[in-house]
Chain A
Amino acid sequence: MSALHFHFEIDGMDFSSAGDASVAVKKKLRQLGFPSDVIRRCSIAMYEGEINMVIHADGGTADVMVYPDKVVMVLEDHGPGIPDVELAMKEGYSTSTEQIRNMGFGAGMGLPNMKRYTDSLEIETQVGVGTKLTMVVSV
């Protein structure tokens, strides 16, 4: 089955353009005629991933593959990795700085939201090497 493929480069610590990729994905999915709840779930999950890469990993890449029956989002960075994934998945747990919190982030809801809004969330991470997230939203 062929897929439409979109690739995005995410800049690290650049909050002015953070969200651009997610908003672009939202627009494309809307143009493709996907249901609004699918669009909402994809774009919010992707935004959380994007923000995480900006905050923690000095940026990274996002690849979005759009199939008729699902949207697959792969976010990859070469950041510090996640030492304890189980802890990171806990609502409210955050390692963000005060500065990040003042911007409205760092609520410890990023990964939980990604899990909540997707049908599957796979985390491959290695401390000191990076993190790869694969999220699937079924249509």
Chain B
Amino acid sequence: MTVQEMAERLSLKTVCLCEPEREIEGGYTGDLLSWVMGNAQSGDVWITIMSNNNVVAVAVLVDVACVILSEDVTLDPGVQELAEKKGINIFSTAESSFSIGAKVAALL
């Protein structure tokens, strides 16, 4: 399933969609960046409440398929522009990390 299809199925809000056809292969939920880097896999959907520009750096390094900001988190100023520059897909949702994680898992 592509990130765009997933976003439509889960009614996610689009923050930036640079690579809509990217396939989702798995998922990871976490806010401690080193844990994410230690455990998330390339192609994962990464669910987090972090909103600073380090999210973009970690997303690039881990090569996640997309980031979902849960709990209605909004990005810090300038982070969206950075994500667009680096080609990272980011969505947001009002749902909790637990709830959206369960829904993503059900799609995989």
Q: Is B73 an interface residue (CB 8 A)?
A: no
Q: Is A113 an interface residue (CB 8 A)?
A: yes
Given contacts A26-B60, A40-B63, A43-B61, contact A113 B54 (CB under 8 A): no
Q: Mark B64-90, 1 if CB is under 8 A from A, else 0.
A: 000000000000000000000010000
| Alpha-carbon separation in the docked complex, A44 to B34 (Å) | 9
Q: Is A105 an interface residue (CB 8 A)?
A: yes
Pair B57/A19 contact, Cβ less than 8 Å = yes
Interface bracket on B = 20 to 34
Pair B54/A48 contact, Cβ less than 8 Å = no
Q: Is A118 an interface residue (CB 8 A)?
A: no
Q: Which of B12-47 contact A (CB under 8 A)?
A: 31-35, 37-38, 42
Q: Is B52 an interface residue (CB 8 A)?
A: yes
Give how many A residues have a beta carbon under 8 Å from the other chain's beta carbons.
Answer: 23
Q: Is B96 an interface residue (CB 8 A)?
A: no
Number of A-B contacts (CB under 8 A): 66
Q: Is the interface of A mostly helix, strand, loop or mixed?
A: helix
| Alpha-carbon separation in the docked complex, A26 to B87 (Å) | 14
Which B residues lie within 8 Å of A26 (CB)?
60-61
Q: Is A59 an interface residue (CB 8 A)?
A: no
Given contacts A16-B53, A40-B42, A116-B38, contact A107 B61 (CB under 8 A): no
* Chain A contacts to B: CB under 8 angstroms: 15-16, 18-19, 22-23, 26, 36, 40, 43-44, 47-48, 103-105, 107-110, 112-113, 116
* Chain B contacts to A: CB under 8 angstroms: 31-35, 37-38, 42, 50, 52-58, 60-63, 86
